[in-house]
Amino acid sequence: MNRPKVYIAKKIPSFVEEYIGKHCDYEMYDNEGRISEETLYEKIKDTEGLLQSGIAIDQKLLDRAPKLKVVSNVSVGYNNFDTDAMKQRNVIGTNTPEVLNDTVADLIFALMLSCARKVSYLDRCVKEGRWNMMDDKSFFGKDVHHATLGIVGMGRIGQDVARRAICGFDMNVLYFNRTRKTEAEEKLGVRYADMETVLSSSDFVLVMTPLSSDTYHLIDEPQFRLMKSDAIFINASRGATVNEKALIKALQEGWILGAGLDVYEQEPVDRENPLLKLDNAVLLPHIGSATEKTRNDMAMLAAENMVKALTGQVPPNIVPELRK
């Protein structure tokens, strides 16, 4: 029986590589940095499976991989998939939801606390010898406990954040979602509201929506102007859900108090991006799931998705747009 041939376009843990090797013939990219387009296209011309992260799976790539049957993302997001093109070629696309929920929720709270209590700014002040915490109001922060958190996008991670907010910090939680989450309302005590109410009533605003044509620049200048002047904005979803120019203007002109970001419209962030010069912005390099255990779990789940798709089984995590 012929074994499926796959290509692994990123480094993965050895135990995940061993698992794939039990079921498939494989090659793996083992260099630092991202794989070049030229190398990738050469490697996938005869492969049935591709395990990767963030590579655009579009018509151009599919034309160079005529035998491709499954693309497995090592991520929960899949905006790198051209699902229409994949449907036409009967290529399955999978992702890695749920295994990273708690880790990302932890990071979101780290951003909220860091912004509210000016952790990054004060760390810099101490290291630069500026020690005047008792008298300098620029050192003062904002309380998180008993504040109102507004969540735009009440998916799994949004619900995990809400649980932390309510159980750990006695926060009030409002949310907006395309469909109401009545079970979350009953279980967690979150309250549904329209988008305008969530934005205008919240001390912290968190965006956790997937990126689609409907959510591109969902948060723009009108939305920032609805927020409180002492509100803190957090984005850990996808950079393009927010108009970054409008966010920069909001921070520079004081429409909102601060922002914590793990995602950006352009990644890596351009060195000339004004965000890099703002003391009221806490910036992270898209590391929401970046703990060793979670990244290992994601890689294993991605491998299982790919192997199952190639061995006559139904992978558990086919993205919704590609489910039959």
- Interatomic CA distance for residues 281 and 251, integer angstroms: 8
Q: 267 an active-site residue? A: yes
Q: 3 an active-site residue? A: no
- Interatomic CA distance for residues 237 and 222, integer angstroms: 20
Compute CA distances 300 → 15, 115, 157, whole Å. Answer: 8, 34, 20
In this structure, what token pair is assigned to residue 90? 């009967």
Q: Which of 34, 156, 225, 286 is catalytic?
A: 286
Q: What is the pairing mode between strands 49-52 and 5-8?
A: parallel
Q: Which of 42, 98, 267, 321 is catalytic?
A: 267
Asked whether the beta carbons of 261 and 284 are under 8 A apart, the reply is yes
In this structure, what token pair is assigned to residue 260? 């914590």
- Interatomic CA distance for residues 312 and 304, integer angstroms: 12
Asked whether the beta carbons of 301 and 315 are under 8 A apart, the reply is no
The three-class DSSP label of residue 265 is coil
- Please provide residue 279's backbone torsions phi and psi, each rounded to the nearest 5 degrees: -70, -20
Q: Which of 23, 163, 164, 238 is catalytic?
A: 238
Half-sphere exposure in the Cβ direction for 62 (13 Å, CA): 20
Positions marked catalytic: 238, 267, 286
